[in-house]
Chains A and B, each alone.
Chain A
Amino acid sequence: MSGVFAPAPGRAPMRSVVASQIRMELTLTARRGEAVVLAMGVPLLVLLGAGLTEVTNVPGDDRLAFVVPGVLALTVMSTAFTGQAITTGYERSYGVLKRLGASPLTRPGLLFAKTAAVLGLIVVQLIALAAVGLAVGWRPHFEAVLPALGVTVLATAAYSGLALLMASLLRPEATTGAATLIYVLMLAAGGIMFAAPDLGTFGWFVLPLAAHAEALRETLSYGGSVPTAIWLSLGAWALVLVTAAAKKFRWE
């Protein structure tokens, strides 16, 4: 008897369990860096195409003030929703989630780690895209960055919740297809390249992308504040989708 394997079970403090998982998620994200850069291709094309040429009609005379915040919002959706859903779907089919489910990492712990990791990635992407915006003449109001960040966190949580929910309910191939389709639809109808159909406040509640883009325009482009209806819309989306994801999330 060596005593090496004498049982001493127990979970590390939850904070360090989650921190390890976030580190792993970010390591793996960095490892497929080319995919992350490619995912920024569409937002970048939209930024330069719709921002610098007259290919689309946008409201107001300042094209960049309209287009750049929209592109930032689109990137958040692309990474937190489309990317997250596809990655998680495949992790399920590889059995990775099951393996994690057979560990001390809890369900809320994994959902939190996945959302936090994706938020970290989004911050880097937004800084890069905002820098391109600045370089081509976008003049943002830096003093309004905090509320912009606030709505971005809410939007990330909502998208990530929807992504994890979809990856729990659909097969990975179906998840990939649906996530891509929703991305394309939102790109067209979300008020990014051209004005969304004017549905007023109601539109903000049905199209979180449009609400998020509008909030970023109000703050970053015009130095204003986020309309209360948008706070409510994104807050409600985040609450509902994260709760649903936590309820429906399956390890297997």
Chain B
Amino acid sequence: MTDAVEVRDVVVRYGDTTAVDGVSLTVPRGRVLSLLGHNGAGKTSLLQVCEGFRRADGGTARVLGLDPVGDHDALMPRLGIMLQSGGVYPWATAGEILRLFASFAAAPLDVEMLLDRLGLRKFERTRWRRLSGGEQQRLSLAVALVGRPELVFLDEPTAGMDTEARHTTWRLIEELRADGVSVLLTTHLLDEAERLADEVVIMRSGVVAATGTPAELTAAAGIDLLEVRADPGLVPDSRLADLKVTETTPGEYAIAGALDAAVISDVLGWFAAKDAQVTAVNTRRRTLEDVYLALTTGEKTKVSR
């Protein structure tokens, strides 16, 4: 079976601005891929190409083995698309909207079930324009899912949602994956990507900055921070020359560098040699957030593969 999404060297330009500059990625069937990046990193532009709303200015995109522009009519019944900003009749009610899209599908999901699952029952008779941002998002998600698609595109699915709705949505996306639906989602929320994605693609200024599973991205450098609490005012000497030692607050030392077991033992040995009384030792692995910030603020890291 072909991959759900296969993007090769895609370029998207708006006049003189290059929004996407040669991005390649693959979403295998039944997997969740998360496109992570700041606003303006090119995530939505890339999604637009996959959805067939834009032709790529370079490269190719195949979705379920089809051309998103040329095969629009054959493709749409198989996709569930959640657009970033609503885009629904302002004067129609939530129930009417969901039933309209359900009626387009051969074997739609039960509308009542979706209204309940997404907490939209109360708003069934509320017109779109009177819904809050989070409620509109939940309805858009319901619209994307109602046709029982095999692949869903979710553009910032939890933007504007409160914590509870966000967790409901996450559980729903996990359930989609468990049921064999492929998912391509964009987000700028790290916990969202870390929790949901089989694979994360970090985009910066239109190019892929790093790719990998959340574990691969965070584990690449092992432990990268050692925190030690001891007597204040110790001055590092040549023994610790390969490491970056900073006393963040009096008595709190942060040590960064290539921290394997031998080096950690050296560091603690140094504190012992200084006759310091060590009261706490803490190691920290970097989080996806550290990786992300490092990549998107321009520092070089070694995690790209």
In contact, B73 and A99 (Cβ under 8 angstroms)? no
B150 within 8 A of A: yes
> Could you mark each residue 180-215 of chain A with 1 if its beta carbon is under 8 Å from any beta carbon of chain B, else 0?
000000000000000000000000000000000000
Q: Is B145 an interface residue (CB 8 A)?
A: yes
- Produce 1/0 per residue, B75-107, CB < 8 A to A: 011110101011111111000100011011111
* Cα separation A96 to B78 with both chains bound (whole Å): 20
Which residue on B lies nearest to A99, using beta carbons? B87
Interface size class of B (residues with CB under 8 A): 35 or more
Find chain B residues with CB under 8 A from A4 CB.
109, 113, 175, 179
Query: Is A224 among interface residues, defined by CB-CB distance under 8 A?
Result: no
* Alpha-carbon distance between A103 and B96 when the two chains are bound, in angstroms: 15
| Pick from B53, B90, B104, B148: contact of A101, CB under 8 Å | B53
How many Å lie between the Cα of A94 and that of B88 in the bound state? 7
- Tell me whether A104 is interfacial, beta carbon within 8 Å: yes
Most-contacted residue by chain A among B53, B77, B83, B150 (CB, 10 A): B77
| Nearest neighbor of B106 in chain A, beta-carbon distance | A10
Residue A38 CB within 8 A of the other chain: no
A96 touches B150 (CB 8 A): no
A168–B89 CA distance with the chains assembled, in angstroms:
18
Given the complex of chains A and B, what is the CA–CA distance between A101 and B53 in angstroms?
9
B91–A32 CB distance below 8 A: yes
Once A and B bind, how many residue pairs between them come within 8 Å at the CB atom?
117
- CB-CB under 8 A for A16 and B78, given A27-B96, A94-B87: no
Q: Does B115 contact A (CB under 8 A)?
A: no
Size of the A side of the interface (Cβ < 8 Å), in residues, is: 36
Residues of A within 8 A of B78 (CB): 9-10
Q: Are A96 and B89 interface neighbours, CB within 8 A?
A: yes
Report how far A24 CA is from B148 CA in the complex, Å: 22
**CB < 8 Å neighbour of B89 from A16, A24, A105:** A24
| Chain B residues positioned under 8 Å from A12 (CB to CB) | 103-106
A21 contacts partner chain B, Cβ-Cβ < 8 Å: yes
Q: In this assembly, does A57 line the interface, its C-beta being within 8 Å of a C-beta of chain B?
A: no
Decide yes or no: A7 and B149 within 8 Å by CB, A96-B88, A103-B76 being known contacts: yes
- Beyond A12-B106, A31-B91, whether A252 also contacts B96 by CB under 8 A is no
| Partner-B contacts on A (CB < 8 A) | 1-12, 16-17, 20-21, 24, 27-28, 31-32, 91, 94-96, 98-99, 101-107, 251-252
Q: What are 24 A-B contacts with C-beta separation under 8 Å? A: A1-B175, A2-B178, A5-B145, A5-B148, A5-B179, A5-B181, A8-B107, A8-B148, A11-B77, A11-B104, A12-B105, A17-B103, A17-B104, A24-B89, A24-B100, A27-B96, A28-B89, A28-B92, A95-B85, A96-B87, A96-B89, A102-B79, A104-B76, A104-B105
